Amino acid sequence: MAKTIVVKQIGSPIRRPAVQRQILIGLGLNKMHKTRELEDTPAIRGMVAKIPHLVEIVEERG
């Protein structure tokens, strides 16, 4: 079974650069307090690391 992480959106993309909004959409997040369970890959970790002020890792399952 692949490792997964649960990511929650904690910030709004309003008045943020368009790239940050696109990263949120790439993670499958678009509204405040939504959560997604995603595969724990370097690509996903990199996306989360680019917008730490907008998302948080709630849980790591593995």
Q: What is the pTM of this model?
A: 0.93
Calculate the dihedral angle through the C-alpha atoms of 42, 34, 9, 41, rounding to the nearest 10 degrees: 0
For the chain, how far is it from start to end, CA to CA, in angstroms?
8
Q: Which of 36, 33, 40 is nearest to 9 (CA)?
A: 33
- The domain of 21 spans 4-61
Determine the pLDDT at residue 62: 85
Number of compact structural domains in the chain: 1
Q: Where are the alpha helices (DSSP H) in 1-62?
A: 18-26, 42-50
Write out the two tokens for 40: 């724990």
Give me the CATH number covering residue 35: 3.30.1390.20
Over the stretch 29-45, which tens digit does the pLDDT of each residue have?
A: 999 999 999 999 999 99
Over the stretch 2-37, which tens digit does the pLDDT of each residue have?
A: 999 999 999 999 999 999 999 999 999 999 999 999
